[in-house]
Amino acid sequence: MEVLNYLVLVRHGQSEWNEKNLFTGWRNPDLTNLGKLEAKKAGELILSKGIKFDALFTSVLTRAIATGDLILDELSIDSISISRDKALNERDYGDLSGLNKDDARKKWGEKQVHIWRRSYDMPPPGGESLKDTGERVLPFFKNQIFPQIYKGKNVLIAAHGNSLRSLIKQLDDLSETEIVKLEIPTGAPIVYTFNGGKIVNKEELL
């Protein structure tokens, strides 16, 4: 009989700076009320799958931590291994951090800001590209998270659009062009099913 286990990825719910259309990166706003509802909804969707988790991994940023906590509340889990690490933080937007996206376009031009946001390896001034982000996310996944998956554990990751994008590029074997086009909705769980350390299914819960 095959024994399946699961990796579930969740992008945090709407943050206060998402709502204000600001570049956030490593800055640390909390969830909005809508963001909290999105996190709870993610918990409800995961609960419907009947997955019992062994470990939760989040970044060290409040919006991801709060999302993970709200999901655990919905799952009625009060005893679980929890790891928080900056390796899972959002991409560092450098000099763009805290700026309104429209103001950034006025300052640097729409084309340049689009390149920074949607290219694979062109970082904004003082910040990280998606490639740079992957260079910290993937070793952490390989060394800290995947060994648990390989052992048959069920793992939940609450993180950010770009840190999860970096991971999905690897899991789905996507090209640099494909990954920059990928949009990850807030609060919408992505469920990978594993068998013997190999992915056998992927499902997005909406």
pLDDT in tens, 105-125: 999 999 999 999 999 999 999
Residue the block writes with tokens 């609960």 = 47
Confidence of residue 3 (pLDDT cuts 50, 70, 90): confident
Residue 172 CA from chain centroid, whole number: 15
Degrees, nearest 5: CA angle 190-191-196: 145
Cα-Cα-Cα-Cα dihedral sign, residues 92, 140, 68, 42: positive
Confidence of residue 1 (pLDDT cuts 50, 70, 90): low
Q: What's the number of CA atoms in the CB half-sphere (13 Å) around residue 188?
A: 9
Write down the mean pLDDT value for the chain: 96
Predicted local confidence at residue 78, as pLDDT: 86
Q: What are phi and psi of 52, to 5 degrees?
A: -105, 115
Per residue in 44-99, pLDDT (tens digit) is 999 999 999 999 999 999 999 999 999 999 999 989 999 999 999 999 999 999 99
User: What confidence tens digit (pLDDT) does each residue in 151-164 have?
Assistant: 999 999 999 999 99
Residue 78 falls in which region: left (phi positive, over 0), alpha (psi -120 to 50) or beta: alpha
Evaluate if residue 143 carries a pLDDT over 90: yes
Q: Are 89 and 61 in contact (CB under 8 A)?
A: yes
Domains of the chain, each with CATH number or no CATH: 4-90+134-204 (3.40.50.1240)
In this predicted structure, the answer to whether residue 14 has a pLDDT above a threshold of 90 is yes
In whole angstroms, give the CA distance from residue 101 to residue 122.
17
Check whether 175 has a pLDDT greater than 70: yes
Q: Taking the complete model, does pTM exceed 0.85, yes or no?
A: yes
Residue-wise pLDDT tens digits, 15-52: 999 999 999 999 999 999 999 999 999 999 999 999 99
Q: Active-site residues: which are they?
A: 12, 90
